[in-house]
Amino acid sequence: MEKRDELYRGKAKTVYTTDDDNKLILHFRNDTSAFDGEKIEQLDRKGEVNNKFNHFVMSKLEEAGIATQVEELVSDTESLVKKLDMIPVECVVRNVAAGSLVRRLGVEEGLTLNPPVFEFFLKNDALHDPMINDYHVVSFGWATAEQIEKMKALTFEVNAVLRELFDDAGMILVDYKLEFGLDGQGNIVLGDEFTPDGCRLWDKETRKKMDKDRFRQGLGSVVETYIEVAERLGLKL
């Protein structure tokens, strides 16, 4: 597979076209950002760790029957993926109260949410990814009502698989975001990534933060902790 032109450059990944119109290459960079790009640093090995972590998690989801964009690793920092027409919304599931939910609603951090809370956010950095609802998604043409229901169903399927995976490894899956797109046949497929950059993970016993909050809050040992998470799951880096 031949990598060709840069298609899109995000905060931590670059997307390239290939000689196959239906395939792209995701390059995971060492860039790390927070607060809509106000805090940016380069962290050694982060691109490699997130690339391999994402492939590992997506493979587990594929084994559970959930269609994903990821096809194969092509280098330490790159993955070959299916080309999708991405839906510009983020699907967020919260199993435990943390982050913006605590700030918005004044609830205690660490409160178990039963049932888990589902939220939509518009993927738009300039607007700081505002919270939206089903009506916004349909009215603005970002997705149909049927696609919304499919995204919700898939997000909770992912939740069932990954909560157990992390629990078995001694961690709590606090919350996470997913992004979906449409393949060439119009099927909803899980895209983008699942890494500690896009979820919150706590140690079950100590409540140690094992995700991007280590960067946001200046706790240090960001990549080292990501590697610890991976190795607890059985992925050797």
Reported pTM:
0.95
Q: Do residues 136 and 122 lie in contact, with contact meaning Cβ atoms separated by under 8 Å?
A: yes
State the Cα–Cα distance between residues 96 and 171, nearest whole angstrom. 12
Grouping H, G, I as helix, E, B as strand and the rest as coil, residue 202 is strand
Is 227 inside a domain boundary? Answer: no
Task: Provide the 8-state DSSP code for 25.
Answer: E
Confidence (pLDDT) at 35? 81
Residue 131 and residue 45 in one domain: no
Q: How many domains does the chain fold into?
A: 2
Residue 114 and residue 210 in one domain: yes
Cα angle 145, 119, 154 (rounded to 5 degrees) comes to 60
Over its C-alpha atoms, the chain yields an Rg (Å, rounded) of 17
Confidence (pLDDT) at 38? 76
Residue 108 and residue 207 in one domain: yes
Helix ranges restricted to H, 25-83: 46-63
Beta carbons within 10 angstroms of residue 76's beta carbon: 13
Is 231 inside a domain boundary? Answer: no
Confidence (pLDDT) at 33? 86
- Give residue 47's domain range: 3-82
Q: What are phi and psi of 160, to 5 degrees?
A: -60, -45
Q: Do residues 72 and 79 lie in contact, with contact meaning Cβ atoms separated by under 8 Å?
A: yes
Is 226 inside a domain boundary? Answer: no
Is 33 inside a domain boundary? Answer: yes
Low-confidence residues of the chain, pLDDT below 50?
none
Confidence (pLDDT) at 93? 98
Q: Do residues 157 and 68 lie in contact, with contact meaning Cβ atoms separated by under 8 Å?
A: no
Beta carbons within 10 angstroms of residue 57's beta carbon: 24
Cα angle 127, 131, 137 (rounded to 5 degrees) comes to 95
Residue 193: CA atoms inside 13 Å, Cβ hemisphere, count? 26
